[in-house]
Structure 1
Amino acid sequence: MDVSAIDHVNIRIPTDGVEDAVAFYRDALGFEPENLDRFRDGERTIFSFRLNEDAIIHVRPVDTFSPPDGEGFDHFAIVVDEPIEAVRERLDDAGIEIERDGNPLGATGRAPAVYVRDPFGFLIEIKTSEPAE
């Protein structure tokens, strides 16, 4: 198998959490929703947020949602093409608390990162594309 990238991540949220997802992923982080109108019209069971041309987050609202409990899920990581200070400023402007900072090793090497939680308890690592000094 010759993998080129991760295509998407699927998360489940509570059925009443759609507007919270839009406020967090679109309004605060800047990811454009896809198929949200089709979801709201009952044509689809999921909607998505576009991270870039090659990656999306699928969101499936469910009646039986259970937030991550730290046993089976730790976090997912995204890489952004902006300095960590710009990321911090955007999060601060959006009122999103940074849980911790890091310089984690990942597929692209070590780089500065911050960790935030979405409204449903999912931990997200936002890592810069700039290598750590």
Structure 2
Amino acid sequence: MTDHTTRLDHVVLWVRDPIAAAHFYEQAVGLEPVRLTDYSVGEAPFPSVRVNEETILDLMPLATAERMTMLPGAAESSGHPVNHVCLSLPAGDFDALRDRLEERSVPVSDLAHDSFGARGLARRSFYFRDPDGNIFEARHYD
């Protein structure tokens, strides 16, 4: 039987310094860098970080915005109109993420409870920004 489930493959984030961004996502958020070495030596146009086995975040250099010609106005879209990206984690990983962010003095919002999402009501959630101003929500359902 063919799998017809739609899945999220990747989200592209505009970043000033893709290498610094990859290090932030690896060290503060706990995501594995992908193609970082290839990007560092000029063999890949951007690095990524792996969210899970099916989803990555592409860390697109902001300097390439002017070359985004696939859609009219794409260059001006950098950072807009996406409000935030939400990461869903198990409770232990959620707590570890919040601890890593606080250890690195990354501002985090107060905890919210029972916010609605793709899997119903999340037990807890909070928001944080990456160094480029992209907003993330972290949540857990268990």
Structure 1 residue runs of 4 or more that deviate by more than 4 Å after TM superposition: 64-67
CA distance in structure 2 between the aligned counterparts of 1:47 and 1:33, rounded to whole angstroms: 7
**TM-aligned CA deviation for residue 39 of structure 1:** 0.8
Structure 1 residues 94 and 61 mapped into 2: Cα distance closer, same or farther (>3 Å)? same
**TM-aligned CA deviation for residue 95 of structure 1:** 2.0
TM-score (norm 2): 0.76
Cα RMSD of the aligned pairs, angstroms, is 2.2
Alignment of 1:1-133 (within 5 A): 2-14=4-16, 17-63=17-63, 68=79, 72-83=81-92, 84-103=94-113, 104-111=115-122, 112-130=124-142
For these two proteins, the number of residue pairs brought into alignment is 126
> Structure 1 regions of 5+ residues with no counterpart?
none
**TM-aligned CA deviation for residue 22 of structure 1:** 2.5
Q: Which has more radius of gyration?
A: 2
Matched-pair contact (CA < 8 Å) for 1:39–1:46: yes
- Which of the pair is proportionally richer in helix? 2
**TM-aligned CA deviation for residue 20 of structure 1:** 2.7
Matched-pair contact (CA < 8 Å) for 1:13–1:60: yes
> Structure 2 regions of 5+ residues with no counterpart?
66-75
**AA paired with 2:85?**
F
